Every structure is written in structure tokens, then in C-alpha cells.
Amino acid sequence: MLFCRDTKNYLYVVRDSGEGFELLSVSPSIKMLVTDGILADDEYIYIISSAGKDCMIEKYRKDDFVKGDFPTPVSLHENAGTGETESWYCVYEVLTRAKDYKVSLASTLRVVGAMIQDGFLYLYTAVGRIYKTDTEFSQLAALEAIVGDGRESVTVSSDAFDADKYYVMEAGEGFSGVTYYGSERKAYVYTVGGTLYKADPGDLTAANTERGKYTFSDKVLRVSYKAGYGPINQNDGNSASLEVPSMVMHEFSHTLLLFFTSSSRVYGVNLQTGKKLFDTELMYGVKSAAYSEDGEELYLLSGAVNDKTVNTLSVGYKTVYKRSTYTALMIAFFVLAGAALVAAIILLASINSKKAARKVKAVFKDIGRQKFVYLIVLLSMAALILFCYYPAVASIVLSFTNYTGANPTKQWNHFANYIQIFTDAATLASFKVMLIFLVADIILAIVPPLIFAFFLSIMRQKKVSMAARILLFLPSVLPSLSTIFIWKMGIFGSGGMLNTILRFITRDKTLSVSFLYSKKWSLPSLIFMGFPWVGSYLIFYGAMMNVPASYFEAAEIEGCNIFKRFFRIDIPLITAQIKYVFVLSFIASVQNFTRVYVTTGGAYGTDIPINRMYYQLLGQNYGLASAYATILFVFLLIATIFNMKMQTVERD
Amino acid sequence: MTKSVTSNFVLIGKKHPRLRSQDHPVLQCVAYLWVAAALAFSLMPLFVTIINSLKSNAAVAANIFTLPTKAIFSDTHNNFGNAWSVVWRPMLNSVWVSLVAAFFNMLIASVLAYIFTRKNFYGKEFFFRFYIIILLVPSILGMSTLYPMMAETFHLKNSYLAIWLPVLAGGQAGALFLFRTFFAQQPSSVYESAMLDGANDVQIYFHLTLPFSLPIMLLNFISTFGGQYNDFLWSSLILEGNKLTLMPVLNAMAGEFNSTKQGVGYAAYLIAAVPLIITSAFSLSKLQSGDFAAGLKL
């Protein structure tokens, strides 16, 4: 994928569809960049493609790419970072592919950069040759001869050809990138050895040569190499280890950015002072980039050209590099300090100004006296804020962005995540399933344990009751995941208990009902898990035991029978415990992840929102996952508040 | 001093009033049958697990209900040996992670509870509300921020710190709430006399608070241990390779354990239960309680 701009500041984005080039969009608002492939002047577009050993220049009429007047272009910004692989908006159609010219410089030519100035095309190659040719390619034959020659070095003599129209020059080193600084009319050439030179491209004359090689004199800086940077073999222009960076020039701040795609690094240098600004790792490999006209936005293209997963991102100028741990800690610290400050201010503001000064002194004196107390509380609050409050709030905020692993630019896409969730039929079905589970879980968490606790409490022999309680403690000693597996395999499995019993009953040796993996039985089976749902009977039992004797004596005198007693006395008096179990099982049911994930993985109609959230998290779609989490959080919050409001009736 | 703490609990064996109508024979029959049935069905999965762990893989696949015969018993050793070799390292990891988490949670929360109960400082209630509010927020909400934060910003992927930090930070809220309630019930007269005698905070904490509240702290320790031991979601996201804890490993082995190596699977589940058996037995011996023993499993 290539960007380029012409002299009128129109941006061309071109995609290699595998069969040729397609122009995809044009926008007048983006300032140039480009390097290894596409140039434009007033009338023509030149596309330089080097694939393997071949280098080809195609020249197209610009008008052939447009349908007439330029309509209002769709800015890249709107669709940037959608993460879709082929989401390029085609503003214009390619009407004809009238190639005015096609030059095939087939040979071991690896063009690392090109530029156009005053009607001449300059190609910079990895071995350190600069080819200058006019845009009419008037001396193509000679050029091809030189190129096809494959000689290691070329001596320049002005007799051989018209030096004004075409030129070949050897430089002292190989190149790995070129960018053109329009306002200075200078080319910044980045050599294989890591040096950046400034040069006037038009000034390729024999007079600047030393022993037949052109020397760059105006050295700007030296980029020091880290592992994975830069080319390794200077003489082998075709070496796969040659890393050609994308070079972006930010003319407003005189900053040059070098993006190294395969090592995902970016190197920034101030061209006026020659000082290195940053040298850091990116979260993604950038293929090429361009600045917006006002220099505020940087448009990045990540991914490989032939790779189907190309994304455009649009970032604020400064967010290109990752934030460090230090910054994260500083943010936490400042948030905490800010909160403390706000609290202090509120405290002071609520106090009469006459007493204010005294109060402040008292506070500070107290802090001095109880240093450790404040220190411990502050540290604990810092941890709480950093690991609990900040992630929760940040997740809610994230749910309104398009944050994914491939596109960490965090742009607002407003409610797009939520719309995606609520318009997807599969997701809506998962919410329905969650509600089914919820209702079933709550009923099963209250009714069977209540009945069991009741029967346990009326049993005559207390010793038997105690034995039962102890025995019932045993199954809960198994880890919960193991219990789910035992149910999955040992009870619902094809050789499991239920199937074995069914086989015995129906005398059919081949019968095998798939309880967990069929649309009909999956959901009921998952609800059935945990039979006989003894659950939190102990809470009810303990509460029943706590009912004061006077109630029962009064009921006895009234002639109450056992059932009446149960419904009229027991249940109302343990309402608090019932509510407690209600709330806890509500929360647990909504957040119950392992039950579905480990058995069916969400298939066969058992998908639930938290399961979908997990898959989004694994797929690095953090924005979408946050939206799921926020929806569940709001749901739980409403339920909890509603429940707290209902608990106004106190047990006397 | 444990007496004042456990008086909130139900002591099993307390006399409970009976209604004459309760003793109706049919009703008693129904009650015993119901309880017996529930007991049988509850214990059946455990029973199946135990007997099948003693059988060979083939025998398990053949029929899940058969009791292990003498001939089949010979495979018990294989089952448990195989299971142990798969499970020992992740189990040790789990135990270590859970122990550290439970210990520091207990420590931090008890110190904080001491401060919030016995000390007065500006903003005390204001700060305390911060801890309560976070209890309303489910842990899954922060996960989509916490994961990139741990994995990329702090470079803590596959490190146990990535488990301990959020668990301790979040766990202190719930434990603080629990401890503060209990600490507040302790008689302040003892504390006052200790302070009059010139004891400083550290001495008071170690000699008064800790002994008073050992049962509840132990309970918190065991419940945090159990909660962390059972944790699957966060562990499977953040850990890999040799550092994996037990639950993700059991999940990874599920494919084999569910088909070809069922006997080994059952044995593995039993082995995995051992640390929990130890902690549960320990908690039962210390406390005879109604609400909390059930509360452990919620």
C-alpha cells in the first residue's frame, strides 16, 4: 500500500491488488510522504514497484484515475483503524489503465526510495546507485544498458549520454531510504551504514565525485543501530536482511521519523539540531506514513503490502510511541494526589474561614503524629486505585473506542461497539441465554436448599442430621473446575452415569444421548448441573435454628400444623438470608464463566455474554470486550441497587 | 476470647423447639427419605470419581459403575502415578500462588482494619467508603484494561505478580470490611489499658488484636486460598508454560482426560482436591459454625 502526494497536495493511496495497481482514494488534505514507490507530478503518477529482482516504473496519467471534478474526499480519518482488512473506500474508479510508459529495469535492482523534482525522477538503490532519468524516459535504452550491465561500479563520463536527461551515479554507500523535504528542496538520504545525509537531488554532477563515486557532504546525523535495525550486508542489494525504513518528514517541527517495519521500531530525530528525539518500540509495524496538512495527525499504514491484513491508523502526532511503565505509575500517583487534594479542598471549603487556618494546622499536625497510619492508608489506596478503580473506569471509557491489539490508537467510535453488540443476532441470543440461566440459577439456589434445610431441621434424630451435614461437606472439597469436568465426563458423557442408566433401562446397548452437545439438551443439561442443588442450605438451616422458641410455642398453642408453620413463620423470618442468597446467586450467575466455557464453549445455544467477552479479549478486541463488561456491570449495578432498596423491611 | 467471636454463629446442638405436629410419622418418613436421596445424589459424583480413579482407563470407558475388582486394582498405581506426573508442578504453583495471596491478604487487611478501628485520622470514613464502593464492581469489568496493562505496560505476562497485585489490591476491600466488623466488637477497655501501660501500635497489634481475631483471620485465609486455588479465568489469560497453575492445566488436559485416559483424569481431580481438603479440615476443626462454613463455598 502506497501513499503519495502531488504538487497540489492531493494524496493518492494505491493498493497492489496482485494484478496491478488500483488507485483507491484521493484526499487533498494530507501532506506527502512516500518513499519506495509512488510519485506524482502535475500530470502523471509514477509507480515504482520492485518485486524480487525486477524493478518496474509505470507512468499513468492522473486524469485517468479520476472521474471528473474531485468530489469531497472521504478523509482517511473517518475509517482509519476500523481493523477491517479491505475497508478502503474507493472514491474514484479506475477508468482506464492507459499506461503511458512502462519501463522495466529488470535486474538486481532494489529501489529503496525515489523522488521527483523538476521533471526528473531519481531512483536510489540499495547498492548505492542513484539513477536520474527524465520523466519522458528519453534515454531509456542507455539506462537499461547500464542497469542490465550488472557491473559493480560505473564510471561516469559525460560523453556517453546526455547528462541533463539521465544519469547514473555511484555513491560511497548503499542506501536504505530517501525522503524529500519539499520546502527545503532537499533530499534526506539514509544510507545503509546508518547515516543521514542532506543533499540537493538535482546536484548530481561529476564535480561531486571522488574517485568516480559521488560523495554526500552534508551529514545530518548518525543513526545508531540496534539489533534488528538496518541492513546488514552493504553490497548485496537484494539481501532479505535489508530493512528499508519508511521515512516521514514532519515539516512543522523539522522532525524526521524512521519507521522500521519488521522490528516495529520508530526512530525520531530533529533535523535542525540533529538530536535524537526518541528511539522506541511500536505496537505495530508501520509500512508507510503521511502527515495531515496541518501537521497534527499522522496517518500510518501498518502491515505488509501483500498481506491481506493491512490497516490504516490515524494517530495524534505524539502518540506514535508506547507509554512507559514510568508514565503509568506517574499517572496513578497524580490521580491519587489529585484525589487527596480535592478531598482536602472540600474539607477546607466546608469550614468557616475563621477556623480554616487552625484546621489546616491541625490536619498537618495529625499527619506528622501519625505518619505511618497515613502512609499505610495512602499506599493501600494507591494500590486500590491503580488495580481496581483505574481498570474499571478505563474499561468503561475504552468501550467507547475502537481499541484492539492491531490498532491501539484508541479513537472514539462512540456507540459503535454497543450497536455492534445489540444488532448482532448471536449476541442477543446470548443475552437471552444468560437470563434463562439467571432465572434458573436463582430458583435452584433458593427453593431446593430451603426445602432441604426444612426437612433437615424437623428430623427427629439430631445425630443423623449432623452426620448428613458432615457428609454433605465432602463434595464441596473438590475444586469447582474438577466438579464441572466430573459432570461433563462422568455424568453427561457418552460413558457417563446418565447414559449408562439409560442404556440399562432401555436395554439398548448402543444408546448414547449427547447431553452437552445437542441443541435440545445442552442448555437443560447445564442448568441440571449441580443436582440435587443442595447449595447454601446451611445458611437457611442456621437461620431456621435461630428462630426464637417463643414463635413456635405460640404457633403450637394456636393449633398450627407443620406446613402452615413453615410458610407463615419460618420463611418470613429468614427473609434476610433468602435475600442474601438471592443477591449472591444473581451476581454469581451473571459472572459464571467456567460452566459454559469448559463444557460447550458456547456452542449449541449455550453462549453467554461473558463467554463472548472472553473470546473478544483473546482476540485482542479490547474495546468490544469492555463494552460487554460494561453492559454486565450496569446490569449487576441496577440489580444490586434495586435489591438494596427492597431491603427496607428489617427483621425485628 | 474466641467465645465473643463465635457467639454470632450457630452452635450445632443447641436445643431447638419442636412442634408436636413435627413428629408425625409420615412427615418424618418423608424428611428422612428426602434427606437421604439428596445425600445420595450429592455424593454420587464423588463416589464415581473415587471408584473410577482406581480402575484402569479401559475399565472406566467400559462401564462407569463397576466397582474396582482385585484385577483392576493393579491399575490404580498407574492412574495416580500418571496423574501425579501431570499435576504435581501446576499444583505446587497453585498452592504457592494461593498461599502468598491468602497470607498477604490477611496481613494487609488486618493491619488496615486495626488502623480503621483503633485509630482516628482525617478522612477515615471518606477513605473507608472507597473500599466499600469497589465491592460493587465485578472483577470482569476491569479485565479488558488490566490485561493489556499487565501484559504490555508492566511486562508482567507469565509472572505471578500479575496475579498477586490485582488480587491483593481488590481483596483488601472485602477482607477489610469483614475484619473491621469483628475488630470493632473487641472490648476497647483492654486496648485502653494496654495503651496506658505504654504499648505502641505494633505491640498492641501483635499481642492483642491478632490473638483476639485468629479465628476470623484464619477463615479469611482459607477462603482466599480456596478462591485463588479455584481461579481459572485470569490465570489462563496471564500464565503459560511451566508457570501455569492447576486449573488451566486441568482444562488443557480435559481432552485426554475425557476420552482415552478417564481413570487418570479422575485420579487427577482427586489429587487436585488435596490442598482444599487440608484447608477445609483445618477450618472445620477450628470453628463449629453455620453461616460461615456455607459462606466459604458461595
Quick: pLDDT tens for A425-467. 888 989 999 999 999 999 999 999 988 888 888 877 788 888 8
Beta-carbon separation of A556 and B262 below 8 A: no
B50 touches chain A (CB under 8 A): no
Residue A8 has pLDDT above 60, yes or no: no
Higher pLDDT among residues A162 and B155, named by residue: B155
Mutation target for B interface from A364, A409, A458: give the one with most B CBs within 10 A: A458
Would you state the pLDDT for residue A165?
A: 56
Would you state the pLDDT for residue B159?
A: 87
- State pLDDT tens for residues B170-184: 999 989 988 888 888
- State pLDDT tens for residues B104-113: 999 999 999 9
- In terms of DSSP H, where are the helices of A474-574? 480-485, 497-506, 522-528, 537-545, 549-558, 562-565, 571-573
Would you state the pLDDT for residue A541?
A: 84
**Are the C-beta atoms of A221 and A276 separated by less than 8 Å?**
yes
Mutation target for B interface from A388, A539, A585: give the one with most B CBs within 10 A: A388
Mutation target for B interface from A378, A457, A461, A481: give the one with most B CBs within 10 A: A481
Beta-carbon separation of A391 and B122 below 8 A: no
Q: Which residues of B touch A484 (CB under 8 A)?
A: none
Would you state the pLDDT for residue A103?
A: 57
Percent of chain A with pLDDT over 70: 57
Beta-carbon separation of B137 and A629 below 8 A: no
B46 touches chain A (CB under 8 A): yes
Residue A620 has pLDDT above 50, yes or no: yes
Mutation target for A interface from B49, B118, B145, B201: give the one with most A CBs within 10 A: B145
- State pLDDT tens for residues A541-585: 888 877 777 777 777 777 777 677 777 777 777 787 888 888 888
Would you state the pLDDT for residue B95?
A: 94
Q: Which domain holds residue B80?
A: 2-16+76-295
pLDDT-derived band at A90 (thresholds 50, 70, 90) equals very low
C-alpha cell of A515?
Answer: 447431553
Residue B43 has pLDDT above 80, yes or no: yes
Would you state the pLDDT for residue A338?
A: 83
What's domain A2-320's architecture? 6 Propeller (2.120)
Q: Which residues of B touch A636 (CB under 8 A)?
A: 138
Residue B168 has pLDDT above 90, yes or no: yes
Q: Which residues of A touch B16 (CB under 8 A)?
A: 457, 545, 549
Which secondary structure element, helix H or strand E, spans residue A233, and what is its range? none
ipTM at complex level: 0.81
C-alpha cell of A183?
Answer: 520546502
Residue B32 has pLDDT above 70, yes or no: yes
CATH number, domain containing residue B151: 1.10.3720.10
pLDDT-derived band at A299 (thresholds 50, 70, 90) equals low
Higher pLDDT among residues A129 and B230, named by residue: B230
- State pLDDT tens for residues A470-510: 888 888 888 888 888 888 888 888 778 888 888 888 887 77
B282 touches chain A (CB under 8 A): no
Would you state the pLDDT for residue A220?
A: 67
Residue A7 has pLDDT above 80, yes or no: no
Average pLDDT over residues B79-98: 89
Following CA atoms B149, B153, B157, B163 in sequence, which dihedral angle do they give, to the nearest 10 degrees? Answer: -50
Structural domain tally of chain B?
A: 1
Beta-carbon separation of A455 and B247 below 8 A: no
Cβ contacts of B115 within 8 Å, gap of 6 or more:
A373, A376, A377, B121
Beta-carbon separation of A500 and B155 below 8 A: no
Cβ contacts of B104 within 8 Å, gap of 6 or more:
B164, B168
Q: Looking at the domain assignment, is residue B134 inside a domain?
A: yes
Beta-carbon separation of B148 and A622 below 8 A: yes
Following CA atoms A477, A483, A485, A490 in sequence, which dihedral angle do they give, to the nearest 10 degrees? Answer: 100
Strand ranges inside A271-323, DSSP E: 276-281, 286-291, 297-302, 311-316
Would you state the pLDDT for residue A309?
A: 34
B3 touches chain A (CB under 8 A): no
Q: Give the whole-angstrom CA distance, residue A436 versus residue A234.
A: 67
Q: Which residues of A touch B8 (CB under 8 A)?
A: none
B contact residues 150-179, partner A, Cβ 8 Å cutoff: 152-155, 165-166, 168-170, 172-173
The minimal CB distance from B52 to the residues A370, A479, A490 is found for A490
C-alpha cell of A362?
Answer: 491541625
Nearest-Cα residue of chain A relative to residue B256: A489
Beta-carbon separation of A471 and B39 below 8 A: yes
Shortest distance between the Cα of B15 and any Cα of chain A, in A, equals 9
Length of chain B as a residue count: 298
Higher pLDDT among residues A471 and A237, named by residue: A471
Average pLDDT over residues B55-79: 70
What CATH class does A420-646 carry? mainly alpha
Listed residue (A495, A501, A498) closest to A524, CA to CA: A498
Would you state the pLDDT for residue A20?
A: 42
Across chain A, what does the average pLDDT equal? Answer: 69
Backbone angles phi, psi at A44, to 5 degrees: -125, 160
Beta-carbon separation of B45 and A630 below 8 A: no
A75-84, A520-529, B157-166: which range is least confident on average?
A: A75-84
Nearest-Cα residue of chain A relative to residue B237: A618
Q: Give the whole-angstrom CA distance, residue A358 versus residue B223.
A: 46
Would you state the pLDDT for residue A255?
A: 76
Residue B228 has pLDDT above 70, yes or no: yes
Shortest distance between the Cα of A547 and any Cα of chain B, in A, equals 9
Beta-carbon separation of A560 and B61 below 8 A: no
Q: Which residues of B touch A465 (CB under 8 A)?
A: 35
Local structure of residue A164 (DSSP, 8 states): T
A644: helix, strand or coil: helix
Among A277-281, A287-291, A306-310, B131-135, name the most confident range.
Answer: B131-135
Q: Which residues of B touch A283 (CB under 8 A)?
A: 152
Beta-carbon separation of A613 and B166 below 8 A: no
A110-119, A278-287, A316-325, B273-282: which range is least confident on average?
A: A316-325
Q: Which residues of A touch B148 (CB under 8 A)?
A: 622
Residue A30 has pLDDT above 70, yes or no: no
Would you state the pLDDT for residue B94?
A: 93
Instruction: Give CA angle at A121 (A118, A127), nearest 5°.
Output: 140
Backbone angles phi, psi at A11, to 5 degrees: -100, 135
Q: Give the whole-angstrom CA distance, residue A430 versus residue A356.
A: 57
Which amino acid, one-letter code, is at A221?
Answer: L
B184 touches chain A (CB under 8 A): no
Beta-carbon separation of A562 and B284 below 8 A: no
Beta-carbon separation of B254 and A485 below 8 A: yes
Shortest distance between the Cα of B274 and any Cα of chain A, in A, equals 8
Q: Give the whole-angstrom CA distance, residue B159 versus residue B93.
A: 11
Beta-carbon separation of A384 and B130 below 8 A: yes
Local structure of residue B243 (DSSP, 8 states): G
Residue A87 has pLDDT above 50, yes or no: no
**Are the C-beta atoms of A199 and A130 separated by less than 8 Å?**
no
Would you state the pLDDT for residue B105?
A: 94
A414-423, B7-16, B23-32: which range is least confident on average?
A: B7-16
Percent of chain A with pLDDT over 90: 4
Beta-carbon separation of A479 and B172 below 8 A: no
Interior/surface letters A264-303, b for 16+ CB within 10 angstroms, e for the rest: bbbbbbebeeeeebebeebbbbbbbbbbbeeeebbbbbbb
pLDDT-derived band at A294 (thresholds 50, 70, 90) equals low
- State pLDDT tens for residues A185-205: 778 787 777 777 877 777 766
Task: Write the DSSP string, A124-151.
Answer: EETTSEEEEEETT-TTHHHHHHHHHH--
B193 touches chain A (CB under 8 A): no
Residue A335 has pLDDT above 90, yes or no: no
Q: Give the whole-angstrom CA distance, residue A425 versus residue A412.
A: 24
Q: Looking at the domain assignment, is residue B138 inside a domain?
A: yes
Q: Give the whole-angstrom CA distance, residue A341 versus residue A32.
A: 47
A6-20, A341-355, A616-630, B280-294: which range is least confident on average?
A: A6-20
Higher pLDDT among residues B138 and A156, named by residue: B138
The minimal CB distance from A471 to the residues B41, B43, B62 is found for B43
Nearest-Cα residue of chain A relative to residue B290: A542
Residue B259 has pLDDT above 80, yes or no: no
Higher pLDDT among residues A94 and A284, named by residue: A284
Would you state the pLDDT for residue A47?
A: 65
Average pLDDT over residues A298-313: 46
Across chain B, what does the average pLDDT equal? Answer: 80
Interior/surface letters B208-229, b for 16+ CB within 10 angstroms, e for the rest: bbeebbebbbbbbbbbbbbbbb
Nearest-Cα residue of chain B relative to residue A393: B142
B264 touches chain A (CB under 8 A): no
The minimal CB distance from A366 to the residues B31, B122, B262 is found for B122
B267 touches chain A (CB under 8 A): no
- State pLDDT tens for residues A31-71: 222 334 567 677 777 766 554 445 566 666 666 554 433 32
Mutation target for B interface from A482, A553, A612, A626: give the one with most B CBs within 10 A: A482
Shortest distance between the Cα of B42 and any Cα of chain A, in A, equals 6
Nearest-Cα residue of chain A relative to residue B122: A363
C-alpha cell of A23?
Answer: 488507485
- State pLDDT tens for residues A515-534: 888 888 888 888 988 888 88
A20-24, A81-85, A390-394: which range is least confident on average?
A: A81-85
B52 touches chain A (CB under 8 A): yes
Higher pLDDT among residues B105 and A358, named by residue: B105
Residue A608 has pLDDT above 70, yes or no: yes
Q: Which residues of A touch B277 (CB under 8 A)?
A: 477
Task: Write the DSSP string, A15-69.
Answer: EE-SSSEEEEEEETTB-----SSEEE-SSEEEEEEEETTEEEEEEEESGGG--SS
Q: Which residues of A touch B119 (CB under 8 A)?
A: 370, 373
Beta-carbon separation of B269 and A610 below 8 A: no
Shortest distance between the Cα of A284 and any Cα of chain B, in A, equals 13
Domain ranges (residues) in chain A? 2-320, 325-398, 420-646
Nearest-Cα residue of chain A relative to residue B291: A539
